[in-house]
Structure 1
Amino acid sequence: MTNLVLRVLVAAGMLLHMSAFAAAEYKIVTASSRGTYIKIGQDLAQFAAPAADVKLEVLPSAGSAENVRRLRYDAGVKLALVQSDVYQAFLDIAAGGNAEARDMIRPLRVVMPLYNEEIYFIVRADSELNYIHDIKNARISAGESGSGTALTSATLYRLMFGEPMPQANASFASNEQALIKLVTDKTVDVVAVVAGQPAKLLVDMKPESRKLIKLLKFDRDHPSSAAVLKTYFPSDVLARNYPNLLATDIAGLAVKAFLVTYDFRLKETEGHLRNLTRSLCQNFATLQEKGHPKWREVQMALPNLGRGWFYYPPSAQEIRACMAGPAKAALPVPSKPAKECPQQEQILGLCKPG
């Protein structure tokens, strides 16, 4: 009996020892399976997570707005990729008195800024539209409902024209569904796509696609551009990335992508995320060499963030230790009077029109 008890205790001890060193199983939410975000997530899972003793599951999603919700509320989701304008929209809406937005965004933290993600507006090849500022009153497929693309489309439209996108002209579908409508039944005039170049959706297009579609250009000298460039960034869409679609580079727009987490305080979770950030830094050269080309645009640094944005302290400490980049605390967002349900909040699912 004594020997049996000893064997049981030894076996139990071995199991406890093994469980203590078992890899943490975390999830990262990205975007479409044909977008850039999911490849960035896969790169993190392949080149950074193993050395941090993390098994990182990469999940597709509708995009940034959904990612904010899932990071906040879904079990196991520890990381998300989020567009800067979507994150800022949640902050602005929260500052305006929306309690749901405040509860969602307040505990989220930035791990690090990543890269600029291009914004494409696609029309039929024979369309009279040539520039992004030509889309006023066009029938626009703005992206999937609840996605970062939809929020970007609505924000850009408002900045350019000083008014919301007309509800009667706006539709919300996946990129693939929208492109089919664009070139077949022609119930859509413009398809909005947000994806870092080279975007798989456009890379996979055949040479015959030039006869069907074209990309709209961004005119940096147009009167509407000044307002747009306060939120977004100029970015050239390169012909070498899309040889089947473009003959020359064209001027475009981009939005910043961020790696985001929750303000986790549990020591075990904090430790794994700290290790993951350290591994990301240590394997940064590998990510740039073997990962998606967008990694070559990423800088291992902690630039100042906007008002209401905060870095995750454990990750920030690791990045400082690795690259000696300073991180400065952001100021709190001042409270503003509550407002009704405009288009941005509808897209983010924070309210419904009356």
Structure 2
Amino acid sequence: MKRSLIVGLLALTSWFNLSPILAEESDARQLGMVTGSKTGTYIQFGNDIAGIAKSVGLDILVKDSQGSIDNIKRINSKENATFGIVQSDVLGFLSRSENPEMRQVASRLRLIFPFYNEEVHLFANKSIQSVNDLSGKRVVVGEQGSGTWLTATNLLQLTGAKPAELLNLPPLQGVTAVLKNEADAMFYVAGKPVSLFTKVGNLITKPEFASMLSNVHFVPLDDPRLLKEYQPAKIGQADYEWLPGEVATIAVKAVLMSFDFSGKQNPYFVRRCQQLATLGQAIRSNISQLRQTGHPKWKEVNLDDKVGVWQLDGCSRSAKGGGKEVDLTRQLEKMLLNFHRWPRPETPAA
């Protein structure tokens, strides 16, 4: 298992060597926003944000992507990718890396706003009663680089569980593998109810498949170690009718994040920080409209939720009070960092 994780992690390290400071200056007026797949929720949130940003004079270019890891890569490159949406556990994933460049990237990331929960589903045969039981087993962790793969890797590291084999299968093949006993468990991260798991209940209508359903369940994820980076959540009959009762799990939160542009006073960083301040105020001022006319998941958004180990972004939060109010902390830091020689008071003539 360790070798499989190392191979996956090494594949990600080569691109963690750039900084947004190298982004093309000609792109500075437009803000690139990296999201997710062309049919997913992230890109729909991006389009909603671009709409309200336009009303305050911001030009946002919404870009599709391959997910959280891809978004971090692009934000730390020459591409115009100022901010984006990622799974909240990407920060812990990078922070625990043995690669110093990845840890440095993690230290530069900031939370603009939390969005909505995506529940972690650990679907397994009934011999698996806790995440610790995954040691020595065959576990589907999703396709390499996917959000599910990221979360599964993170959870295994946090708990110390050591599967004998990690299987990089997409969701449908993962569920099938568990049902056929070709895998012992699978991770899948998605907002409940997940259509794929809803349809698992249909197996009871076919005698040849009914025994498969009786041998699987969702494994409770209630280990206190997980709650440092994840939100507590529940899965129950309201989500999947075939469940006999409620199951404790955890949720990863989709978050809007950016590089920390508040730390330097060069023109590029100052402009980006001002743009994020305007964006933060626009989202906060228009949250009611977004809940009414945007993607249905906006109804679940609480802009003031705490999210694990994330540091708040100073730029986008600087206009929280409204209008053009400037963040006092940034003003003070700027004054204290800039050397200024005060004139000596004149001595009155004798």
Q: Give the TM-score, by structure 1 length.
A: 0.65
Determine if contact 2:65/2:71 at 8 Å carries over to the other structure.
no
Q: Which residue of 1 aligns with 2:118?
A: 117
> Residue 257 of structure 1: CA displacement?
3.1
**Structure 1, residues 306-337: CA drift from partner, whole Å, max 9, x if none?**
3xx43332201123438x9x9999xxxxxxxx
Secondary structure at the residue paired with 2:145?
A: coil
Matches within 5 A, 1:309-324: 309-321=310-322
> Counterparts in 2 of 1:201-212, with a 5 A limit?
202=197, 205=199, 208=202
Aligned to 2:108: 107
Q: Deviations over 1:144-172 (max 9, x none)?
A: 21334223223323444x34x33x41122
Query: Could you say what secondary structure the match of 1:289 adopts?
Result: helix
SS at match of 2:105: helix
2:139 is aligned to 140
1:60 to 49, 60, 65: 65
| C-alpha spacing 1:108/1:247, structure 2 compared with 1 (3 Å) | same
User: Are residue 257 (structure 1) and residue 254 (structure 2) matched?
Assistant: yes
- Report 1:138-177 matches (<5 A): 138-160=137-159, 162-163=160-161, 165-166=162-163, 168-177=164-173
Residues 25 and 303 from structure 1, CA distance in 2 versus in 1: closer, same or farther, beyond 3 angstroms?
closer
Q: Is the 8 A contact 1:34 1:200 kept in 2?
A: no
With over 3 angstroms needed to count, the CA separation of the structure-2 counterparts of 1:130 and 1:108, relative to structure 1, is closer
Query: Could you tell me which residue of structure 2 aligns to residue 285 of structure 1?
Result: 288
Q: Does 1:233 align with 2:231?
A: yes
Structure 2 letter corresponding to 1:57: V
Give CA deviations for 1:28-64 in whole Å, capped at 9, x if unaligned: 233x566554443344345x33324334424131x32
Q: Deviation at 1:101?
A: 1.0
Give ranges in structure 2 of 5+ residues lacking alignment. 1-25, 205-209, 262-267, 331-350
When the two chains are superposed, the root-mean-square deviation of aligned CA atoms in Å is 3.8
Identical-residue share of aligned pairs (%): 27
**C-alpha distance in 2, partners of 1:33/1:180?**
26
Alignment coverage as a number of residue pairs: 287
**2:110 is matched by which residue type in structure 1?**
R
How far, CA to CA, are the matches of 1:122 and 1:109 in structure 2?
Answer: 32
* Closer/same/farther in 2, CA of residues 279 and 193 from structure 1, 3 Å limit: same
- Counterpart for residue 195 of structure 1: 190
**Which stretch shifts more, 205-214 or 49-58?**
205-214
The amino acid across from 2:94 in the alignment is F
Q: Is the 8 A contact 1:69 1:104 kept in 2?
A: no
Q: How far apart are the structure 2 equivalents of 1:193 and 1:76?
A: 31
Residue number among 77, 91, 111 corresponding to 1:87 in the alignment: 91
User: What residue in structure 1 maps to residue 175 of structure 2?
Assistant: 179
2:23 maps to 1:28: no
Q: Secondary structure at the match of 2:283?
A: helix
Deviations 1:183-206 (A, max 9, x none): 56x533322111233446556x47
Q: Is this contact kept in 1: 2:112–2:317, CA < 8 A? A: yes
The structure-2 alpha-carbon separation of the partners of 1:26 and 1:140, relative to structure 1 and needing over 3 Å to count, comes to same
1:111-167 CA deviation, whole Å, 9 max, x = no partner? 12333321011236xx5445555433321111221334223223323444x34x33x
Cα pair distance change 1:303/1:193, threshold 3 Å: closer
Structure 1 stretches lacking a partner, 5+ long: 1-19, 330-354
Q: Distance in 1 between matches of 2:296 and 2:236?
A: 13
Task: Give yes or no for contact 1:66–1:147 (8 Å, CA) kept in 2.
Answer: no
Quote the Cα distance in structure 1 between the aligned partners of 2:127 and 2:257: 40
Task: Report the 3-state secondary structure (helix = DSSP H, G, I; strand = E; otherwise coil) of the residue aligned with 1:276.
Answer: helix
Q: 1:111 to 1:226 in 2, by over 3 A?
A: closer
Q: Distance in 1 between matches of 2:38 and 2:182?
A: 25
Moved more, 254-263 or 36-45: 36-45
Q: Structure 2 length normalisation: TM-score?
A: 0.66
Structure 1: distance between partners of 2:81 and 2:192: 26
